[in-house]
């Protein structure tokens, strides 16, 4: 039997995953919290407390003016990367590449959105069951996972704007260089190395192909790269992963 509630509570949510998928709100504060897993292990979450909430998307009605968003956290030196925290932190690094300080978010109206990112995890079949190998051990791989990312922050702008600016920067960096010269310059540039998805696109030799397919760069008969001039729209960032 479902227990009915006579009056909706306005207390801060304390349950599992939030039904929110996209919202605007003012970050009132953030706090670290030590939690215990089902196996008895301990881990840390960063709890983001929002007020003046405007719900843009949710999987069920959310009538509250506040929200708590919890994201697991490990210090960079203790993390292998490819986590939900990386997704969030990477979006902030885009907004403030020279000073990606979490305190920049406090007290500001901002927009957050859940986006699907491939993170390392246990593979599952179409029925949702874990995939195991011949020895009965779980098979690990890249699993599409919903992660929070920052869309925009008052005073810092939007990630989309930063991606457009970064495309212009990449094209200017490539202009007049050969492919090896471009990659060499890119991999020694702090703006590029701050974005691991771009570094990965370089090391897998996909970045120039993507920029060319976007109509932003051409290559002449001598192998020299040139930026495309004229009224060419700047598209979104060349790779899908929105974090470092």
Same domain, 126 and 35: yes
The three-class DSSP label of residue 58 is strand
Both tokens of 115, joined, read: 């986006």
Same domain, 127 and 81: yes
Whether 129 maps to a domain, the answer reads yes
- In the listed set 154, 178, 206, which residue is the last one of a domain according to the structure? 154
**Separation of alpha carbons 44 and 60, rounded Å:** 27
Both tokens of 147, joined, read: 């992660």
Same domain, 111 and 150: yes
Q: Return the half-sphere exposure (C-beta side, CA atoms, 13 A cut-off) of residue 106.
A: 7
Q: How many domains does the chain have?
A: 2
pLDDT averages per 10-residue partition of the chain, 244 residues: 45 63 96 81 91 95 94 83 86 85 96 89 80 84 88 92 84 91 89 79 86 88 86 41 41
Q: What is the pLDDT of residue 50?
A: 97
Q: What is the pLDDT of residue 28?
A: 97
Both tokens of 218, joined, read: 């051409």
| φ and ψ of 103, to 5 deg | -65, -15
Whether 73 maps to a domain, the answer reads yes
Burial class (CB within 10 angstroms; exposed 0-12, middle 13-18, buried 19+) of 127 = exposed
Q: What is the pLDDT of residue 14?
A: 44
pTM of the complete model beyond 0.85: no
**Separation of alpha carbons 218 and 226, rounded Å:** 5
Q: What is the pLDDT of residue 235?
A: 39
- In the listed set 100, 129, 154, which residue is the last one of a domain according to the structure? 154
Same domain, 40 and 139: yes
**Separation of alpha carbons 238 and 244, rounded Å:** 13
Residue 196, C-beta contacts closer than 8 angstroms, at least 6 positions apart: 81, 90, 243, 244
Domain residue limits at 183:
161-227
Same domain, 144 and 172: no
- Tally Cβ neighbours within 10 Å of residue 47: 16
Rounded to a whole number of angstroms, the CA Rg of the chain reads 21
The β-bridge partners of 138 are 132
Residue 176, C-beta contacts closer than 8 angstroms, at least 6 positions apart: 224, 225, 226
**Mind giving me the DSSP string for 126-142?**
TTSPBPB-TTSPBPEEE
């Amino acid at each position: 039997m479902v227990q009915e509630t006579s009056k909706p509570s306005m207390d801060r949510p304390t349950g599992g995953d939030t039904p929110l998928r996209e919202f605007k709100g003012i970050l009132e504060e953030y706090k670290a919290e030590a939690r215990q897993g089902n196996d008895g292990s301990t881990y840390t979450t960063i709890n983001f407390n929002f007020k003046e909430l405007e719900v843009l998307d949710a999987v069920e009605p959310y009538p509250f003016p506040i929200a708590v968003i919890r994201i697991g956290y490990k210090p960079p030196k203790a993390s292998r990367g490819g986590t939900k925290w990386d997704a969030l932190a990477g979006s902030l690094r885009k907004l403030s590449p020279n000073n990606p300080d979490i305190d920049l978010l406090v007290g500001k109206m901002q927009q957050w959105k859940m986006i699907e990112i491939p993170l390392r995890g246990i593979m599952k079949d179409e029925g949702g069951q874990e995939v195991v190998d011949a020895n009965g051990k779980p098979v690990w791989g890249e699993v599409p996972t919903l992660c929070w990312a920052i869309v925009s922050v008052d005073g810092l702008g939007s990630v989309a704007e930063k991606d457009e600016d970064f495309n212009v920067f990449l094209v200017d960096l490539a202009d007049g260089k050969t492919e090896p010269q471009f990659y060499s310059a890119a991999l020694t540039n702090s703006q590029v190395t701050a974005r691991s998805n771009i570094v990965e696109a370089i090391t897998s030799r996909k970045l120039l192909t993507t920029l060319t397919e976007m109509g932003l760069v051409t290559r002449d008969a001598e192998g020299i790269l040139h930026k495309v001039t004229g009224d060419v729209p700047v598209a979104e960032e060349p790779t899908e992963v929105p974090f470092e």
